[in-house]
Copies of this chain bind each other. A is one copy, B any other.
């Protein structure tokens, strides 16, 4: 597995050491906003990530403690990915990227979600973080 080298002690730089590529944050987007949590679901997203890249990024996210991987309760051949607190803590980054993208690109997004994020960003961030947190709760522990 590719090791992550820290280029400097600048916090922007160290964040980009982990998140600075075209795919990692899209997987987290799918987990937070897409209601997705399995390898097969991530593959179906509009950006068409290659299977080897997806496997690599999921392994990296796990290595970095951003996601956990558990066997699905209904099928032994299925794995469910959930965000850890470290992963959930990237939601403000996702939202900042989303808002910049809507202001400076040709994009399409659910108007309700956009309105919520534009008018009450902090509340919306907290809500999506809470939702992500709830998903990690096991139904019958």
Q: Which residues of A pack against B, CB within 8 Å?
A: 6-22, 25-26, 29, 45-48, 86, 89-90, 92-109
Q: Is the CB of A93 within 8 A of B96?
A: yes
Q: Is the CB of B22 within 8 A of A107?
A: no
Least Cβ–Cβ distance between A63 and chain B, in angstroms: 13
Q: Is the CB of A97 within 8 A of B47?
A: no
Interface centre among A86, A98, A104 (most CB of B within 10 A): A104
Q: Is the CB of B11 within 8 A of A16?
A: no
Please name all residues of chain B whose beta carbon is closer than 8 Å to the beta carbon of A105 when the two chains form the complex.
6, 11, 14-15, 17-18
Least Cβ–Cβ distance between A54 and chain B, in angstroms: 14
Q: Is the CB of B92 within 8 A of A100?
A: yes
Closest-by-CB residue of B relative to A125 is B96
Please name all residues of chain B whose beta carbon is closer than 8 Å to the beta carbon of A21 when the two chains form the complex.
20-22
**Roughly how many angstroms separate A70 CA and B108 CA in the complex, as a whole number?**
35
**Contacts A9-B107, A96-B96 supplied; 11 other A-B pairs, CB < 8 Å:** A6-B105, A10-B29, A10-B46, A10-B107, A10-B108, A11-B100, A13-B29, A13-B47, A15-B97, A16-B22, A16-B25
Instruction: Please tell me which one of the listed residues B7, B11, B19, B100 contacts residue A47 in the complex, with CB atoms under 8 A apart.
Output: B7
Q: Is the CB of B47 within 8 A of A107?
A: no
Q: Is the CB of A99 within 8 A of B92?
A: yes
